[in-house]
Amino acid sequence: MRIGKVAGTVVSTINIPLLDRHRLLLCDIEDVEGRPSGYTIAVDVVDAGVGDTVLILDEGSSARQILGLEWGAIRAVVVGIVDELVVDGEGRSLI
């Protein structure tokens, strides 16, 4: 999993049927200091909002497991909202 921050949402009406049921979030991938390094568009299953620091899973088989699918073209899923990061014993609250 990666740590990221929700930067925005992607709205789409023409997409593969599987994506009809899901909200898409554009998330910056961040390091522990909060510096961005790229982005990914991920399916939201935790009702994350813009500005939230989140846990992003980017692996197909786990994504299908979470979504209860046998198959499907989904790889990135927002699986958690981060409350606090502790690095080198120092906590950083994100709430």
Closest approach, Cβ 42 to other proteins, in A, equals 7
Given a contact cutoff of 8 angstroms between Cβ atoms, the answer to whether 22 and 43 are in contact is: yes
Residue from 16, 46, 66, 86 touching other proteins (CB under 8 A): that is 16
Closest approach, Cβ 12 to other proteins, in A, equals 4
Q: Does 12 bind other proteins (CB under 8 A)?
A: yes
Closest approach, Cβ 86 to other proteins, in A, equals 26
Number of Cβ within a 10 Å radius of residue 55 = 16
CA 35/CA 66 separation, integer angstroms: 28
